[in-house]
Chains A and B, each alone.
Chain A
Amino acid sequence: MTMDGPNHASPSADAKSIAPPLLSVRELIKDFASSGVFALAGSNPIRAVAGVSFDVLSGETLGLVGESGCGKSTLTRCILRLLTPTSGSVSLGGVDLAGLDAEAMRNQRKHLQVVFQDPYASLHPRMRIGDIIAEPLRLLNLSRRASDDRVKELVDLVKLNREHLERFPHELSGGQRQRVGIARALSVNPKMVLLDEPVSALDVSIQAGILNLLMDLQERLGHSYLFVAHNLSTVRHISNRVAVMYLGKIMEIAPRDQLFGAPRHPYTAALLSAVPVADPKVERRRQRIVLSGEIPSPAAPPSGCRFRTRCWKAKEVCSTTEPELRSDGASTFACHFPQAS
């Protein structure tokens, strides 16, 4: 948790001169064929991820924020190779994952693990907790004994009871199940852990415990997180840097305090202003940036800037020229008319 400061903000290749990134995503594109019985062969594919690049450094947490349909889930599934990207590269510790065959990819999975959103659906309902946690350990070819010991160690690590090992997922509460998911992900000592909305399915009083656990574990084990979420206060709490996605593209990427303190992209600003704050006095005073309209369909994104249809600053140029990601030293953003820094 020592990586912060503007030096690491840039997703561009020159970050390499400081420290090679652990996870490096370049120009990732994922198209889905438009579905439906009568979909024509030549019809427009849905571009869920439309050219995304970013780095995650060793030991840091990158938050990835976006509303539903922005492509963040597709992006995580492409990184995990649960989906095959249409184009672009994902490299982990210098190894390009896109070029690997199934066996070689499986070998890399001990470095790259994931915790899913829904602790109910993501655990095998008919497997015992102990077996669920031990599943990734098969990658390491441990002896039965060593594997059992490791599982016990992990159970202690995520503060579950050893009695839980013999139970089935439905006998556990949501928070406990998510701890099982975390133990499973960490079992093989991965360098990179993807957290796909890990607390959004949990009750408020449980979320804090899981967030604390995730942060404690990172401090002890030194892995990196890519924390994908729609809840901004959670992202703010756990991340070193934050990337904001909208309709398949990154709109802004900046160190946490920079992004939350002085958002440069209008969409980031609107997103921040929409978050309800648990303080009635603040709520009464605040002025919201109210966005008009809804998120367009990724099948037919607007020309130029993707956000322009909902942006109060949009001008002619926004509809003709798509803004490139550019950096002002602190933040990197894609906007013709950024907010004042």
Chain B
Amino acid sequence: MSDILLDVRGLDIAFFGMAGQRSVRDVSLTIARGETVSIVGESGSGKSVSMRAIMGLLPDSAYVSGSAKFLGQELIGASTATLRSLTGSRIAMIFQDPLTALNPLLSIGDQISEAIRIHNRDVSRREARERALQLLRDVAIPFPEKRLDQYPHEFSGGMRQRVVIAIAIANKPDLIIADEPTTALDVTVQAEVLDLLRRLCRQNGTGLALITHDLGVVAGMAERVYVMYAGSIVEAALVDDIFERPAHPYTRGLLRSLPKMKDQAKRLEDIGGTPPTAASLPTGCAFHPRCSFATDVCRKETPRLNSYGRSIAACHLGGSLPAFEKEIETA
């Protein structure tokens, strides 16, 4: 059991003023030690909110229920002191915008040293600075000696995100939660940052929860994938199965709607319609208004997660869907 880092069970989140509508409904997921798990979904699917809830980062207006155990320790409802001792040491977070994560008035070196010394009081300033230098080397920042004394505004977007990663790994956490870490970056820079993240997690045996909307990033990084739609997990599978045998019509729709690098089918297959908001959730399966396979039961009953082969999916029709034809792609 000690292999499970994070064990989330039945997470529900509602916000004040939403008339009891839950933004996140019954989310359960696990992340094992050293594993990279991707949580995919569109904006408003609840992927970020779930992870923030686990870290206690939601505003006061959020009602969170359910359980999230990190190495057996309950995080939901834990005291601020408990969360503070865990975050930054055992669990680290990386956000989309590296600039807001850094203090503009402190040098990079000071910020990394501080991250180390907060959780290890016995580390001397000098030692912390040494380790900060080593961390900058680890995240492949050129001229680390010089960079150590510079301020965030002197770094480019990609370099800042490296600094954020350096701070995240400073205390060798067991788990990194990365929320769209490369969305704000250019493709060439994104490729480097993802490579770096992958290498560091592998080296240190760190678990990585990668929240993203980019299926290309998922394909390159994840071992397992959770697909979220309208606040629920609709499919969970190994990465190869997600891309080759997607069990949920939504996953299929997402994959089909991507412009292909290779083949030029004239039209893209779009899912049609728009994702519902928590306030306008349809009855039955939340995806049924956009689903071409929807039947009466989909309109009435909310599907539960069921196993289909190695995957689990929340679809009434799971077994009876036609086989998914995958377009062969080479790059």
For A35-58 the 0/1 string (1 means CB < 8 A from B) is: 000000000000000000000000
The residue that A209 contacts in the complex, of B218, B240, B270, B330, with Cβ under 8 A, is: B270
B residues 148-171 touching A (CB-CB < 8 Å): 156-159
CB distance from B260 to the nearest CB of A (A): 7
* CB neighbours of A67 from chain B (8 A): 186-189
Residue of chain B at shortest CB distance from A209: B270
A294 vs B56: C-alpha distance when bound (angstroms): 35
CB distance from B37 to the nearest CB of A (A): 14
The residue that A280 contacts in the complex, of B195, B243, B259, B261, with Cβ under 8 A, is: B243
Q: Tell me whether B83 is interfacial, beta carbon within 8 Å.
A: no
A residues 189-235 touching B (CB-CB < 8 Å): 203-209, 211-212, 215, 230, 232-234
The residue that A212 contacts in the complex, of B157, B159, B189, B268, with Cβ under 8 A, is: B268
Q: Tell me whether B39 is interfacial, beta carbon within 8 Å.
A: no
The reply to whether B187 and A277 contact each other, CB–CB distance below 8 Å, is: no
Q: Tell me whether B269 is interfacial, beta carbon within 8 Å.
A: yes
The reply to whether B331 and A274 contact each other, CB–CB distance below 8 Å, is: no
* CB neighbours of B216 from chain A (8 A): 275-278, 283
A275 vs B182: C-alpha distance when bound (angstroms): 12
Interface size class of A (residues with CB under 8 A): 35 or more
Pick 23 A–B contacts, CB within 8 A, sort by A. Answer: A205-B42, A206-B271, A207-B257, A208-B258, A208-B269, A208-B271, A209-B270, A209-B272, A215-B267, A236-B261, A237-B264, A237-B268, A260-B261, A271-B187, A278-B216, A282-B329, A282-B331, A283-B216, A290-B191, A294-B156, A294-B159, A295-B156, A295-B186
Q: Tell me whether A291 is interfacial, beta carbon within 8 Å.
A: yes
Asked whether A203 and B42 contact (CB < 8 A) given A260-B261, A280-B243, A291-B192, the answer is yes
* CB neighbours of B239 from chain A (8 A): 280
Q: A174-B274, A233-B259 are in contact. List 7 more A-B contacts (CB 8 A).
A: A204-B213, A232-B187, A271-B187, A279-B243, A280-B220, A283-B220, A290-B191
* CB neighbours of A277 from chain B (8 A): 216, 219-220, 261, 329, 331
The residue that A203 contacts in the complex, of B43, B188, B190, B258, with Cβ under 8 A, is: B43
The reply to whether B259 and A211 contact each other, CB–CB distance below 8 Å, is: yes
A205 vs B157: C-alpha distance when bound (angstroms): 27
The reply to whether B264 and A280 contact each other, CB–CB distance below 8 Å, is: no
Residue of chain A at shortest CB distance from B216: A276
CB distance from B240 to the nearest CB of A (A): 5
Q: Tell me whether A145 is interfacial, beta carbon within 8 Å.
A: no
The reply to whether A276 and B192 contact each other, CB–CB distance below 8 Å, is: no
Residue of chain A at shortest CB distance from B274: A173
* CB neighbours of A203 from chain B (8 A): 42-43, 213, 275
Interface centre among B156, B189, B261, B329 (most CB of A within 10 A): B261
Question: Which secondary structure dominates chain A's binding surface?
Answer: helix
Q: Tell me whether B217 is interfacial, beta carbon within 8 Å.
A: yes
* CB neighbours of B268 from chain A (8 A): 208-209, 211-212, 237
* CB neighbours of A283 from chain B (8 A): 216, 219-220
Asked whether A290 and B192 contact (CB < 8 A) given A208-B271, A278-B255, A282-B330, the answer is yes
A299 vs B239: C-alpha distance when bound (angstroms): 44
* CB neighbours of B243 from chain A (8 A): 278-280
For A161-201 the 0/1 string (1 means CB < 8 A from B) is: 00000000000011110000000000000000000000000
Residue of chain B at shortest CB distance from A256: B264
Residue of chain A at shortest CB distance from B182: A276
Asked whether A205 and B214 contact (CB < 8 A) given A232-B187, A283-B220, A288-B195, the answer is no
Q: Tell me whether A293 is interfacial, beta carbon within 8 Å.
A: yes
Q: Tell me whether B101 is interfacial, beta carbon within 8 Å.
A: no
Q: Tell me whether B126 is interfacial, beta carbon within 8 Å.
A: no
Q: Tell me whether B254 is interfacial, beta carbon within 8 Å.
A: yes
Task: Give the top 6 A-B pairs by smallest Cβ distance, nearest first.
Answer: A276-B216, A208-B270, A237-B259, A208-B257, A67-B186, A209-B270
The reply to whether B274 and A276 contact each other, CB–CB distance below 8 Å, is: no
Asked whether A212 and B267 contact (CB < 8 A) given A204-B42, A276-B214, A276-B219, the answer is yes
The reply to whether B188 and A291 contact each other, CB–CB distance below 8 Å, is: yes
CB distance from A37 to the nearest CB of B (A): 16
Q: Tell me whether B121 is interfacial, beta carbon within 8 Å.
A: no
The reply to whether B266 and A215 contact each other, CB–CB distance below 8 Å, is: yes
* CB neighbours of A291 from chain B (8 A): 188, 192
* CB neighbours of B274 from chain A (8 A): 173-176, 206
The reply to whether B217 and A276 contact each other, CB–CB distance below 8 Å, is: yes
A8 vs B57: C-alpha distance when bound (angstroms): 55
* CB neighbours of B187 from chain A (8 A): 67, 230, 232, 271, 274-275
* CB neighbours of A174 from chain B (8 A): 274
Q: Tell me whether B144 is interfacial, beta carbon within 8 Å.
A: no
The residue that B191 contacts in the complex, of A176, A260, A274, A279, with Cβ under 8 A, is: A274
CB distance from A121 to the nearest CB of B (A): 16
* CB neighbours of A271 from chain B (8 A): 187-188
A278 vs B221: C-alpha distance when bound (angstroms): 11
A280 vs B245: C-alpha distance when bound (angstroms): 13
CB distance from A106 to the nearest CB of B (A): 35
Residue of chain B at shortest CB distance from A292: B142
Q: Tell me whether A126 is interfacial, beta carbon within 8 Å.
A: no
CB distance from A242 to the nearest CB of B (A): 13
* CB neighbours of A280 from chain B (8 A): 219-220, 222, 239-240, 243
CB distance from A298 to the nearest CB of B (A): 13
Q: Tell me whether B305 is interfacial, beta carbon within 8 Å.
A: no
